[in-house]
């Protein structure tokens, strides 16, 4: 299970949070990954929640707090 930020920097060339990392991202706790739950419907129509792991969109998987959040992907 990857628990390290996937990237050092986001896609912005001039990015203050990436050049001077401050607070860890509040959405992923600085890991660069978040684990939301997404709904899955089985053949009986019963919805269950499955935990998935995705790169954190709020910090472009850098683990650095980006505030304000920008379009990073
Ligand atoms: Zn950045
Ligand atoms: Zn994050």
The rounded Å distance from CA 15 to ligand 1 centre is 5
Q: Given pLDDT bands bounded at 50, 70 and 90, which one contains residue 67?
A: confident
| pLDDT above 90 (res 62) | yes
User: What pLDDT shows up at residue 73?
Assistant: 53
Ligand 1 mean position, distance from CA 4 (Å): 16
Task: Give me the long-range contacts of 12-18 (CB less than 8 A, separation at least 24).
Answer: 12/70, 12/72, 15/66, 17/59, 17/62, 17/64, 17/65, 17/66, 17/67, 18/62, 18/64
pLDDT of 71 above 80:
no
In tens, the pLDDT along 8-51 reads: 888 888 888 899 888 999 989 999 998 889 999 999 999 999 99
């Amino acid at each position: 299970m990857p628990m390290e930020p996937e990237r050092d920097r986001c896609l912005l060339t001039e990015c203050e949070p990436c050049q001077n990392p401050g607070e860890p991202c509040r959405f992923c706790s600085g890991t660069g990954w978040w684990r939301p739950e997404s709904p899955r419907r089985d053949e009986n129509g019963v919805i269950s929640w499955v935990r998935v792991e995705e790169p954190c969109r709020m910090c472009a998987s850098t683990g650095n707090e980006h505030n304000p959040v920008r379009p990073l992907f």
